[in-house]
Amino acid sequence: MHEIKLGFIPLVDCALLAIAKEKGFAEENGIQLSLHKEVSWANIRDKIYLGYLDGAQMLAGMPIAANLGLMPNSCEIVAPFVLGRNGNAITVSRSLFAEMQKSNDTILEELDLKKTGAALKAVIDQRKIEGKTILRFGMVFPFSCHNYHLRYWMSSCGIEPDIDVHLEVIPPPFMDQYLEEGRIDGFCVGEPWNSLAVEQDVGVIIATTKQVWAYSPEKMLGLRKQWVDTYPEALNALMKTLHQCVNWAMQSSNIDELSKLLSSHTYIDVPAEIIKRALTGDIKLKNAQDSTQIENFLMLNANKPEQAAAKWLFDQMVRWKQAENIDIHPDALKNAFATQVYSEHLPSIQYDIEIDYSLFDGKIIKGA
Amino acid sequence: METDLKILLIDENETRSAILFEGLRGSGLNCVEWLKDTRNLSERIFALDPDVILIDLENPNRDVLEQMFQISREVKRPIAMFVDQSDSQSITQAIDAGVSAYIVDGLKSERVKSIIDTTISRFNAFSNLHKELAEAKSALIERKEVDKAKGILMKQRNIGEAEAYALLRKAAMNKGQKISDIASSIVTASELMG
């Protein structure tokens, strides 16, 4: 048996890890999998650095930041499997939503990022004239797609993310409470926290981040490079396991069971009905309204990491001054998004999804 | 001058905070601030401008602190976890104890080391205390169960207390179980039988 210790954060995109453990796929492949629920990304990083964990669910920016030495307590990370693409949303308080509606009252019907951005900009401009306080948005970690997507969207719509709004890190379970108490005006977070805000009628989902780029890798399986080099057989078993989990998760008849599994205290501890929304893409944008079907809201398939995505994330780090655009070691991004490792271990996997690299503003992700 | 070091402790546990507080005071550190409520953490850290931040590992606000590595305009000086990153042994000890530390760059490492050591030993002292309390509590519950089971046996079999206890002990030995386990099955069975 290969003993593997992996960390996760209670979010819907920990699904594949939960399936591996609970549906017996890990065991079938000779893996004794122990999953460790962590409260912060910093804990995950530190415990991997110290060898308490072999790997973990990671924000897509984390393996890159680790390999470039942008975070403390980092060791080299190999991330060979995308655990989820998309799955985040942008939620605003009911009062900010009402302000946005003044310039556009069909935001939710259209779900057009440019128009939503224009409505937000109109509010920001108006507040400046009236001398009102700067709008505050919560996101989850500096090296997260939440941070980059919010910034990309805002700046494309003429909003300066470092000047016109205040972006701050808030742990996902606190987002709803902060929004309700008026400490923030909106946030970008993964599920189930957006749907929970809608359910409690403290917020309105105005956008999903898949609108920025429809195939954005959101969470990766990040492993210590040292572990990957030492245990190639365990890695192979783990890759096969995860692929089987994807096949299981893709069967729509399993969605109810998966929602229920994730709703338990061991994983997310939020009612299954709310978790199910992200898994079906049947998203309720506003309380007491019919839900909207959003295609590929959260993708648990299309798991091969691609270099173009790693490069795009690195470009965002440079753009927002987290990293310097100096010559980086070529292996840093190759390990961070380990396309080759995926292909070596799962050579025969062909998925029928054609990944489109165009962003919402018409630009195309380079190197795709 | 070094006793003027400002230390910020972020911990929701009041008892543990009090234990650490006392320990740091004992080593001559008088500027210790304790934050239980972590709302608006960034602003409050900016206002306090601490040299050392200690935070319990189960606090999700660690990710809020991480942002400060990125946005130097929020705090005057960048902070990093531990002075010397190669000192992974003390990081390991800290993680085992359940605490993480953030330190302003440029602090003398011996001074910081003593703060970290105090923190680790106090966190460990707290968890030992916690364990002892839990054990004492469960011992008390077990004793109550044994007393109840003895009472049931004495009544049903019309025997004395010593004999009832001997029966329990014999059953426990035969089945390779704890006396308290046998006792609770007797209590449960008796409740079911009415």
CATH tag, A92-211: 3.40.190.10
User: How do the domains of chain A map onto residue ranges?
Assistant: 2-87+216-278+294-345, 92-211
Give pLDDT tens digits for A321-352.
Answer: 888 877 777 788 999 999 999 999 999 888 77
CB pairs under 8 A between A and B: 68
Average pLDDT over residues A52-60: 97
Q: Which member of A72, A140, A183 has the closest CB to residue B81?
A: A72
Phi, psi (5° rounding) for residue B22?
-65, -40
**Which chain A residues have any C-beta within 8 angstroms of a chain B C-beta?**
39-43, 46-47, 49-50, 52, 71-73, 140-142, 168-174, 178, 183, 322
List the helix and strand counts (H, then E) for chain A: 17, 13
Does pLDDT of A66 surpass 50? Answer: yes
Q: Which member of B57, B63, B100 has the closest CB to residue A171?
A: B63
Phi, psi (5° rounding) for residue B8?
-115, 125
Question: What residues in A contact B40, CB-CB < 8 Å?
Answer: 183
Please give the ipTM for the structure prediction.
0.85
- For residue A118, the cross-strand partners are none
Does pLDDT of B39 surpass 80? Answer: no
Does pLDDT of B90 surpass 80? Answer: no
Mean pLDDT computed over every residue of chain A: 94
Instruction: Give the contacts of A75 (CB within 8 A, at least 6 positions apart).
Output: A48, A49, A66, A224, A225, A226
Q: Do A110 and B33 meet the contact criterion of CB atoms below 8 Å apart? A: no
pLDDT confidence of residue B79: 61
Give pLDDT tens digits for A231-251.
Answer: 999 999 999 999 999 999 999
Question: What residues in A contact B59, CB-CB < 8 Å?
Answer: 39-40
Which range (A66-80, A297-311, B117-131, B180-194) has the least confidence? B117-131
> Are B100 and A42 within 8 A, CB to CB?
yes
Place B100 in a pLDDT band, splitting at 50, 70 and 90.
confident
> Are B66 and A41 within 8 A, CB to CB?
yes
On the question of a common fold for A2-87+216-278+294-345 and A92-211, the answer reads yes
Give pLDDT tens digits for B150-165.
Answer: 999 999 999 998 899 9
pLDDT confidence of residue B84: 54
pLDDT confidence of residue A368: 62
Instruction: Give the contacts of A287 (CB within 8 A, at least 6 positions apart).
Output: A198, A199, A200, A201, A204
Reported CATH class of domain A2-87+216-278+294-345: alpha beta
Run of H or E including A333: helix A330-336
pLDDT confidence of residue A214: 94
Question: What residues in A contact B61, CB-CB < 8 Å?
Answer: 40, 171
Give pLDDT tens digits for A127-169.
Answer: 999 999 999 999 999 999 999 999 999 999 999 999 999 999 9
Which segments of A50-144 does DSSP mark as H helices, in order? 61-67, 94-101, 107-110, 113-130
SS (H, E, C) B75-98: CCCCEECCCCCCCHHHHHHHHHHC
Q: Whole-angstrom Cα distance, residue B82 to residue B104? A: 9
Question: What residues in B contact A178, CB-CB < 8 Å?
Answer: 39
Calculate how close chain A gets to B186, using CA atoms only, in Å.
31
Question: What residues in A contact B62, CB-CB < 8 Å?
Answer: 39-40, 42-43
